[in-house]
Amino acid sequence: MDVLMSLAVICLVAVLGVGPAAAAEPASGAAGNALKDIRETLDAGKKLLDEGKPGKAAARVAEASQAIEALAAEGTAPTAGLRSLWERCRSLRNDLELEGADVSGISRAPLKMGTAKASSPKPAAGKPAGKPMDAAAPAAGAAKPVAAARPAAKPAAKPALTFTAQVAPILSRHCGGCHIAGRKGGFQMVSYAGLMKSGMVQPGAGESSRLVETILSGDMPRGGGKVSPEDLGVLMKWIDAGAPFDGPDPTAPIDGLARQATAPPPAVVPTKPIVAVKLKAGDVSFAADVAPVLLEQCSGCHDAMQPEANLSMVSLERLLRGGRGGSPVVSGKGAESLLIKKLKGAGIEGQRMPLGKPPLADDVIATIQKWIDQGATLDLLTPKADLETLTAAGRSQKLSHDELKKVRFQAAGSLWTRAIPDEKPAVIERGDVLVVGNLSAAKLEELADTAEAVEGRLREEVMGGKPPLIKGGIVAYGFAKGYDLSSFWQTAFSDERPKGVTAVAGVLGDVVYAAVVPPAGGKSLGEKPSAGKHDGQTDASALLAEQMTTAALLGRGVPAWFAKGAGRAVAMKFEPKADLVEAWRRDLPAAVQRCGSPADFFGGRGDPVAMATVGGGFIAAIMPSVSRLEALVAQLDAGTPFDQAFASVVRGQPQPLFEAWAAQQATRGPRR
């Protein structure tokens, strides 16, 4: 607990920066307009980049970057707003650099704040530790050594305004009918994450945020309601303070948060984390028997973006969390579960499900009911896996390696086409690896060589020499450009590719993939002059070792934090001299400081670049030799659940091990 607290405080220090300049001030009208102009310039830059015009895009971003610096020097604009724009500039700078644009006009120095406002310091109380860490990266550079700041920073941990207790109820009460349950005017805010994505909130600039503007102008709420000045004040102050989030899950429905905040909390039993378990004879398999039904019959309406009744069925986790009426699944009690009642259409409010379609066959309903009766268990992958992937995993159990390979390699092309419809990829098959990409022929060949070599080595050292690395083989995507990976990311995760991320691994439907933008040859990534074989190919080999390991582990259903951390740890072992690996090592102390609480690490929240570095360092520390990973994989393949396999191989539990490791890193402090 102590470590948890101090970690939270470490991160708080990183978010706040040091000194009064980091406290939030409301935007004055003129500064608000200036911020808006800059935002629009950046939007234009992003658009140009997406259109494949990096040169023009760079000019716009440079313009914005200079405007931010000027405004910061003046010291009249809200710091948090400036910082978030500055961060966008830096993120675009990375993307532009990847596209080969001239980015010399875009500064990447930490933002220097003017002193005009520093004379009226406010207590740094606005920001709870839950805020995503990356938004404040420039401030982190200025942070004092952690150890010194720790005790003093403690009182700041109490947030003045919270989203869950104060903001969510206001939004739900005044705007909910039209913008949470509905999507009037194309604007919907089902969750905090959705609200922030809508662009209606500009952190740090309450007054000039569209959400507030529409209320100030009297346009909203429609339908005769009125937002009291007190409530409006809460909204503005919260946005001015950077619009932080304080709950455990930014994708939780706002309606649900509001209900929790306004109703006395029922004495809920803390829900156990869901983990995949081995089925007993006669058990219903969620992956093979239930997920396919939900996927086909329900997920069209109960989707991720605008789920009917706020009930999304994208994953088991999301299904169990429930919608307007709470969880539709009462574990162990099928007949009492709303899910079953809605399928039977008896004793319910509203409609029988699936709405507008014939009822499900009795035996199908009986199977789902039995699955709930047996405890609504998960038998494959993770509770976060999307239903499509779970369905594929259920199906793949029944296929042989070669049959599955056929299915997988075929699906690999369809997935590419979904992501990048206007460019047909080239394909090279090498044993159990299928390389798919739009690189030049020579580069794709080089990538295939590297992938094949990496696969051989992984099979040998991590899988104990027993083919295959993963049943059904692996797909390696090689993208020529950062924006190809961005398109892929959009397809795979319905999200923007995070800045600085040039590779990813995952399981999507039938495809188990490692995707990379191969580093250019020569000195594109490292900053030091090259010595020996530090070149693009070594970096590519490290990237592939990382992502292929991660893919093979994700395909075995281990939690993402472990799959990613182990992938990176393996890459560090395989290519210790790669520039990329040296950079990871160098960045570790700073990344540990920037990472969130252990809960953030295990939940996969926070800046993905820092989290990957932290994960690699952590796994490398607890699994100092690759043979430990080999032992773990052998147990997984024998059907041992991950938690048990981990405990027996590493001799400890993830969370305490992580806390101890992080504490040790923090006391060690920055090193070169």
Which stretches of the chain bind ligand HEC, using CB under 6 A? 174-175, 177-179, 184-185, 187, 200, 210-211, 214-215, 220-223, 225, 227, 297-298, 300-302, 308-309, 311, 322-325, 328, 338-339, 342-343, 350-351, 353-356, 360
Q: Which is nearer to ligand HEC, 144 or 237 (CB)?
A: 237
Q: Which is nearer to ligand HEC, 243 or 645 (CB)?
A: 243
Q: How far is CA 49 from CA 375, 474, 488, in A?
A: 49, 31, 16
The distance of closest approach from Cβ of residue 259 to ligand HEC in the complex, given in angstroms and rounded to an integer, is 12
Q: How far is CA 174 from CA 67, 215, 373, 477, 646, in A?
A: 36, 10, 39, 47, 48
- What is the DSSP secondary-structure string of 360-425? PPHHHHHHHHHHHHTT--B-SS-TTSBHHHHHHHHHHTTS-HHHHHHHHHHHHHHHHHHH-TT-PP
Give the angle 192-198-204 at the CA atoms, nearest 5°: 70
CB 207 within 8 A of CB 236: yes
CB 393 within 8 A of CB 556: no
Integer Cα distance of 662 and 593 in angstroms: 9
Record the tokens describing residue 267, joined without a space. 């004495």
Q: Which is nearer to ligand HEC, 340 or 435 (CB)?
A: 340
The distance of closest approach from Cβ of residue 316 to ligand HEC in the complex, given in angstroms and rounded to an integer, is 13
Q: Which is nearer to ligand HEC, 160 or 200 (CB)?
A: 200
Q: Which is nearer to ligand HEC, 107 or 369 (CB)?
A: 369
Integer Cα distance of 601 and 611 in angstroms: 7
The distance of closest approach from Cβ of residue 163 to ligand HEC in the complex, given in angstroms and rounded to an integer, is 14
Record the tokens describing residue 102, joined without a space. 């001239």
The distance of closest approach from Cβ of residue 380 to ligand HEC in the complex, given in angstroms and rounded to an integer, is 20
CB 221 within 8 A of CB 144: no
Q: Which is nearer to ligand HEC, 295 or 458 (CB)?
A: 295
Integer Cα distance of 397 and 500 in angstroms: 36
Q: Which is nearer to ligand HEC, 95 or 231 (CB)?
A: 231
The distance of closest approach from Cβ of residue 238 to ligand HEC in the complex, given in angstroms and rounded to an integer, is 13
Q: How far is CA 231 from CA 128, 137, 608, in A?
A: 20, 31, 34
For residue 434, give the 3-state DSSP assignment. Answer: strand
The secondary structure of residue 326, as a DSSP letter, is: B
Q: Which is nearer to ligand HEC, 79 or 297 (CB)?
A: 297
Q: Which is nearer to ligand HEC, 322 or 468 (CB)?
A: 322
CB 254 within 8 A of CB 195: yes
The distance of closest approach from Cβ of residue 338 to ligand HEC in the complex, given in angstroms and rounded to an integer, is 5
Q: Which is nearer to ligand HEC, 251 or 640 (CB)?
A: 251
Residue 527, C-beta contacts closer than 8 angstroms, at least 6 positions apart: none
The distance of closest approach from Cβ of residue 200 to ligand HEC in the complex, given in angstroms and rounded to an integer, is 5
Alpha helices in 17-123 (DSSP H): 29-50, 54-74, 79-98
CB 597 within 8 A of CB 11: yes
The distance of closest approach from Cβ of residue 186 to ligand HEC in the complex, given in angstroms and rounded to an integer, is 7
Integer Cα distance of 580 and 534 in angstroms: 9
Q: Which is nearer to ligand HEC, 179 or 318 (CB)?
A: 179
Integer Cα distance of 449 and 455 in angstroms: 10
